[in-house]
Amino acid sequence: MAAEQVAELASVAPPQGTMPARSYLESDAPRLSLNGVWKFRLHAGIRQAPQDGWQSGGDRPDFGDLPVPSSWPMHGHGTPWYTNVQYPFAVEPPHVPDANPVGDLFVEFEAGPEYFPAALIRFDGIESAGTVWLNGTLLGTTRGSRLAHEFDATGVLVPGRNVLAVQVAQFSAASYVEDQDMWWLPGIFRDVTLQARPSDGLDDVFVHADYDHRSGEGILRVEASREGQPAAAVVRVPELGLELPAGEEHRLPGVDPWSAELPRLYDATVSTAGETVSVQLGFRSISIEDAQFKVNGRRILLRGVNRHEHHPKLGRAVPREVMESELRLMKQHNINAIRTSHYPPHPDLLALADQLGFYVVLECDLETHGFEQGGWKQNPSADPQWQAALVDRMSRTVERDKNHASVVIWSLGNEAGTGENLAAMSRWTKLRDPSRPIHYEGDWSSAYVDVYSRMYASQAETELIGQGVEPPLDDADLDARRRAMPFVLCEYVHAMGNGPGGMSEYQELFHRHPRLMGGFVWEWLEHGITRTGPDGQEYFVYGGDFGEEVHDGNFVTDGLVDANRVPRPGLLDFKKVIEPLTIEVAADWSGFTLTNRFDFADTSGLEFRYTVEADGETVDGGLVDVAPVAPQESAAVRLPAGLLERTGQTPAVLTVSAVLTEDTAWADAGHEVAWGQESANLPLAPTAVGALAPEAGASQRAAGAGVEVEGDLLRLGPAVFDRATGQPVRLGDAAVEGLRLLLWRAPTDNDLGAEWGSPDPRPVATQWMDAGLNRMHVRLVGISSRPAEGGGEELVVRTRVAAAGKQFGVLAEYVWTSDGDTVSLQTTVKPVGSWVNAGWPVPWARIGVEIVMGSATKSVEWFGQGPHHSYPDTGQGTKLGWYDLPLKDMDVEYVRPQESGARSGVYSAALELDAGRLTIDGELFALTVRPYSLAVLDAATHRPDLVPDGRSYVYLDHAVHGVGTAACGPGVLEGYRLAPREAEFSFVFAVTQST
């Protein structure tokens, strides 16, 4: 028997014993959820699984309890395993390893008379292979972890007590085609139901709800079937007063079309004498014209994300309320499209997408990426023996979800190479549903798809494609065919750790070139798994933290939201980049230009508010009357007169926001959809600015302080220095433990990635480390004083900073002055030395200073961009304003600790220290404050490694290298790279008692 089971697990055939694939239907026929507590035991492999009649249930002391749906490693049985490309077992298809965890599960339930004479049992998800018994009778097997399987229970189900048993193997031949970038998590992870089948009921329904944008008519035809033949059924749409036989086409004038912006649905029923099925109709058309992707006759721009299904505590078993919260969060951040990477989602997600409004690229459960490492040899996509199984996967994908208006594109899979089996999947799909285009990124020649797709193409390459001047294919016919297709970035701006950078440049191209459909950020959700530390605090872990033999580390923790669905700064920036309205405020504050980038919705559901802030106080504001602006149109809007004049010479900011006027299904009234800003009276040089400045009048200030010698110390106004090193040791009453020039940062995930298309294949972090930026040493050149302009003296500290073994370095000169109350620092940086006669060989991470204060920081105030962090190629979602945050909220808790938390475009800041209030003014600097050192941050691998030491580490940066997306994709664009250069920058410091 064990040998037969081993052979079954290695079978490449489609599942056995399953009923024909069909739609996921909401029926009035009786159904019983079999979710709940099941009995469970785990074996090391199929050969270790005893043949002891467990399928009949009963009192089994060797079985424990396990909730279903669930991923059993999340409940303490075995461990999760993460790989991206590589398989977690030897690649010898179709064989699987002997070390292959196998779970036995059973549940007892009562079947009432309503389930006779006919019933079926449905599984919505089993990973990766299940064998199913009912009352000891074999029903069949499952293949396709994220695909539905239905088994005929007629004649096996009995009145009263029944036992449903399933044996689940973690790995099977099917695992070779399920090599998606995610955790391997076995179990029955989606719903299990018993469904009655009326003798005169419906087996399937196929709704065709088209829309003629020229006439404004809906075109409805509903196919109803029973045992493979058309069924006599009646279709009713009460709101439209419609009743017609199934199979007939009917044109309906004046219907409201469905779109992601206006997701209009009509409730309908399809009925026979024995069963009524409820469906929601969304009338919409999909077309490709002039190399443009269109819905209802209009070119559509996809502002999308790739979405995996993951829960940090439950694994693959994601509750419906969590899915719904995700989609609401997406809508709140202007996202209008989802690619279901890389498999069909739980059916509930698509019902929510219909109702809330999303364009969905629905992907088949197929990926064979691990075969790329062997040159695609034995790839199932090209192996004839796999064709039936792969076509079966595609057919069940299409059949289950064909009635959803939100599904606008079918995708054959992901990163599965190419081959005849994919072409066969495409042919089947076109025959079954010619209304939707077909997508598959791996078909670069676009021989069997309708949409040209790439992942991580650079901005430059994307522009060439948008212009239609990309390099030609060798085959002229295929080249002509591809140039007639719209182009989509099915994955782009890889959102791993700090980033992604360069989003705006892509979006500008999408708006400029109609051929570009938009794209899908990789990815929506990080796949962290929750672990509790010794202190009781939860944090996320990743690949390798479970002792996996091979793994891909923290590559699984990439997303616009963390595993708990908390937005990362990248999501806040993405919201701004893709906002469906642009608000350009005039420099004189007289008005603004409003451009409606919606495809179907006008602006009547929005109201426009303006707010004027001066010195951190709101001094004016109100509503602006704006007539509705049609889609893709612009309007000039006047603001109340005199707004700018009323601010005087005070630094001030005008913000205009577009907000919802009423509650919607996805956000409350007042939710901000888009905004624009303009500022005035901003300081040009570092001086104490407004509310953040120390309270000291001009009469209290000296014209200029001199340098005084006090034993081993030097005093300059409120600052005290070490006489031997020139290092500051005190600012007012606050101890200073160090100041240094800094060119290094703790590498981000993107810094650690190889920059695609770069002449230097090394990750930029490797370049920095090879150049020694992380191990720079200081040599004191000299300390001196000299007269200062305007009176008093300057303290001048000259240093040379370089790494061991390197000829190149930096001359850093610090010039300190004081007016008696404040102390000013002017820093001059000059690269010196040579490296193969080419100067500095690498870009720098930053140009700035680190100041270590001897006391902890409680909170940080600043006037600059905020409230979240920003870098040269990110921060689009930040606003200029006055902010005050506790120190803990200044950091971004990325799963793998890295550079983060910088507030850029800062004019003035104040730190509430235990020892007083430190104010800092500067020339548009970036501010970062941490309670632990850069060395601690650099060495950390998980959040608990970051232990505060009672100090404050303050980073004041004149310039910063961008972040890019090199973790998987293009690196930092040239305009955001920090080339070594001379620099000069200044800051003004003061310490006063805390208020």
User: How far apart, in whole angstroms, are the C-alpha atoms of residue 812 and residue 450?
Assistant: 58
Beta bridge mates, 249: 221
Q: Are 714 and 708 in contact (CB under 8 A)?
A: yes
Beta bridge mates, 711: none
Let me know if 607 is a catalytic residue: no
Query: What is the residue whose two structure tokens read 């003296």?
Result: 793
Type of residue found at 995: T
Burial label for 191, CB within 10 Å (0-12, 13-18, 19+), is buried
Beta bridge mates, 163: 108
Catalytic residue among 363, 415, 470, 912: 415
Let me know if 415 is a catalytic residue: yes
Nearest to 564 by CA among 869, 314, 891, 890: 314
Buried b (16+ CB within 10 A) or exposed e, 842-869: bbbbbbbbbbbbbbbbebbbbbbbbbbb
What token pair was written down for 171? 């790995």
Catalytic residue among 326, 491, 607, 613: 491
Q: Are 199 and 117 in contact (CB under 8 A)?
A: yes
Burial label for 661, CB within 10 Å (0-12, 13-18, 19+), is exposed
Nearest to 14 by CA among 283, 322, 389: 389
Q: Distance of CA 253 to CAs 216, 217, 234, 264, Å?
A: 6, 4, 20, 15
Beta bridge mates, 140: 132
The DSSP annotation for 138-155 comes to EEEEEE-TTS-EEEE-TT
35 contact partners, CB below 8 Å, separation of at least 6 = 68, 69, 191, 192
What token pair was written down for 442? 């791996």
Nearest to 276 by CA among 236, 325, 240: 236
State the sign of the Cα–Cα–Cα–Cα dihedral 389, 395, 401, 405.
positive
Q: Are 196 and 115 in contact (CB under 8 A)?
A: yes
Report residue 499: phi and psi, to 5°.
Answer: 150, -160
Q: Are 823 and 808 in contact (CB under 8 A)?
A: no
In the 8-state DSSP scheme, what is residue 712? T
Report residue 269: phi and psi, to 5°.
Answer: -130, 150
Question: Which residues are identified as catalytic?
Answer: 415, 491
